[in-house]
Chain A
Amino acid sequence: MHGAAHPVATEVLFGLGPLLVSLAIFVLTYAVIVTERINRAIVALLGAGVMIMSGVLHQTEAVQGIDFNTIGLLTGMMVIVAITQKSGVFQYVAVRSAKLVKADPWGLMLMLAVVTALFSALLDNVTTVLLVAPVALLITDALRISPYPYLFTIIFASNIGGSATLIGDPPNIMIGSAVGLTFNDFVLNMAPIALLVFLLTLLPIWWFWGRKLHASPEQRAQVMAFDERAAITDPLLLKQSLAVTALTIAGFVFAHALGLEPATIALFGAALLLLIRALGRDAEQQSELVHKSFAEVEWVTIFFFVGLFIVVAGVEKAGALKLAAEALVSFTGGELALTAYVILWASAIISAVVDNIPFVATMIPVIQNLGPVVGAANLETLWWALALGACLGGNGSLVGASANLVVAGFAERSGQPIRFLPFMLGAFPLMLSSIAISHFYIGWRYLT
């Protein structure tokens, strides 16, 4: 992932060595990100700038450190989703699902969980919860039941669903891109455990909430009167965007055979959808279409990635991540199973309390450095441990994943706040049990 065209200097700033300086920049950057006092994109870009200006990293190395495959994949999918969501297809599916279970409160929760998990597997988690949470709120409003259990379930479903595929969650995108794991690799290795965790997570949710939820026949009739077809605001856009989305996903499936990177497929899909939408419009309308579509890309996330990649490239070049890998090896004795379990549990617990993106960005080169110890062929086990820990760990608290914060923010604005501690009291044990299931899965599938 990172280039090293320039030799490591012995002194970079105030006579200090690059290891110390890069670690100081790294720790300071991550510490400020954790406090959330300053926008994370600003912090990451500043950290990247200081890493270059201090002399730890040359500019060309910084650019080489940016994983453009991750950036391209995220951006391309964001454009596709931004255009697709205007068709109303997501509301259609959510309302249709609610009606399929005759607006039964537990059935509704189950269906919204399934819809969220499926969308999250194929789209960005944040986008998914932004599309599903308002519909859940409207339906629970009509049923006059508390939206809290539904929003809680949506959070869990989005993080579990996102863990199932290469494109479902940023940690998977980063791991897949850095290591060359394909869409199919993720589906074959992550989807089975994601499905199992999803099903087993629904049991305690049913026990705590599901079995107690009731709505009167009149309230259910109100939801049954919803006309899901009216949610489709643009049938032509619906057809066009679904066709391009299906084509893009097919592209991910065949990417390896085609010799293409996921970023190429996602950006091509985005360009194709923009082209289809632009046809027949004059120059001004085309400009407006492109401008609006690009404006909906989450540039904060994109620039956050850019900054982080550079910061991590700095500590990697200075040798800090090699030292971290050696420390991990000395702790586990280089034993594959113990290393995998440590990565799984540590990733989960850390991802529950801090953003999993910077954590995974740091862990990727650390694990790459373990190749000579555990054997290159065994590294894949560690990647799945990291992916499972980072994705599922996000369920542990409200700050564990961006999607959690988005749902909490929406709930707050809607007068139905989700408080940090009550959420964590329910979510953390549930997250730990999902990691325990993953622990056995890794042991059974890769270590026996």
Chain B
Amino acid sequence: MPLRALALDSKPQILSVDSPVRAVLRLMFEQRIDQVALVDAAGRFVGLAGVGMALERVVPVSARAEQGLNDLAFAGDALPMLLDHFQALLDQPAALLLDARAKPLHVATPLLEAALLLTRAHGPLPVLDDAGILVGLLGQRDLMHFLSTRSDAA
């Protein structure tokens, strides 16, 4: 069964990939969402910007980098440092927040494959049509809800 049979979140929030991080975060705060789809000038899907990626950018690079510090408990709150990083991030391009883990699904992707990929993702995955246009987002809850509905019907 392909994904087009599922009820996707068909109206994800969309911004231009050229927008600043500030605009992405503002939209996330206003809509209380964790992902914003970024598109190019032609409206083609570029990727999902995630709030988690923004958070990663705020965490000191000394801990974020591979083989970096495993533990930052000794550094305390470090609020000034966090604020510095946050403010430095705001005027950066939104592309900085693209989540490489949110690999797009196709409307024809089989359900089982989508279920497996969702277990490996950190949030909803974008679903694209043949033209590369974003059709909607598929989250873990969407898929479980679909299974629950089918289970009740069976």
Contact = CB atoms under 8 A, between A and B. Distances in A.
B71 A414 contact: no
Contacts of A134: 62-63, 65, 67-69
A413 B62 CA distance: 9
A130 B61 CA distance: 14
A88 interface: yes
B76 A226 contact: yes
B116 interface: no
Contacts of A227: 73-74, 76
A292 interface: no
A93 to B, nearest CB: 12
Given A137-B60, A141-B60, A413 B65 contact: yes
A142 B81 contact: yes
Interface size class of B (residues with CB under 8 A): 20 to 34
A138 interface: yes
Interface in A48-92: 88, 91-92
B130 interface: no
Interface string A210-222: 0000000011001
A415 B63 CA distance: 12
A91 B67 contact: no
Contacts of B65: 134, 410, 413-414
Contacts of B64: 414
Nearest to A218: B80
B69 A91 contact: yes
Nearest to A412: B65
A222 B74 CA distance: 12
Interface stretch (A179-187, A228-236, A304-312): A228-236
Given A230-B73, A410-B67, A141 B80 contact: no
Contacts of A135: 62, 69
B76 A138 contact: no
Contacts, number: 71
Contact of A137 (B62, B72, B74, B76): B62
Given A137-B62, A141-B60, A410-B65, A95 B76 contact: no
Contacts of A5: none
Nearest to A138: B62
B67 A130 contact: yes
Nearest to A92: B74
A95 B74 contact: yes
A227 B67 CA distance: 22
Contacts of A230: 73-74
A128 to B, nearest CB: 13
A16 interface: no
A225 interface: yes
Contacts of B60: 137-138, 141
Given A141-B62, A227-B76, A414-B65, A222 B71 contact: no
B75 interface: yes
Contacts of B68: 134, 137, 410, 413-414
Contacts of B81: 141-142, 222
Contacts of A218: 80
Contact of A225 (B66, B67, B73, B76): B76
Contact of B69 (A138, A144, A416): A138
A227 B71 CA distance: 12
Given A91-B74, A226-B74, A227-B74, A414 B69 contact: no
B66 A231 contact: no
B78 interface: yes
B152 interface: no
Given A134-B67, A142-B78, A144-B84, A415 B73 contact: no
A103 to B, nearest CB: 13
A89 B61 CA distance: 21
Contact of B61 (A91, A226, A229, A415): A415
Contacts of A88: 71, 74
Contacts of B80: 142, 218-219, 222
Nearest to A221: B80
A230 B65 CA distance: 21
A11 B97 CA distance: 64
A135 B71 CA distance: 11
Contacts of B67: 130, 134, 410, 413
Contacts of B74: 88, 91-92, 95, 226-231
Given A141-B81, A414-B68, 14 more contacts: A88-B71, A91-B71, A134-B65, A134-B67, A135-B69, A137-B68, A138-B62, A226-B75, A226-B76, A230-B74, A233-B71, A413-B67, A414-B61, A416-B61
20 contacts: A92-B74, A134-B63, A134-B67, A134-B69, A135-B62, A137-B62, A137-B68, A138-B60, A138-B63, A138-B75, A141-B62, A141-B81, A144-B84, A218-B80, A222-B81, A226-B74, A227-B74, A231-B74, A413-B68, A414-B61
Rank and list the top 7 A-B pairs by shortest CB-CB distance, nearest first. Answer: A137-B62, A230-B74, A231-B74, A138-B62, A413-B65, A414-B61, A414-B65
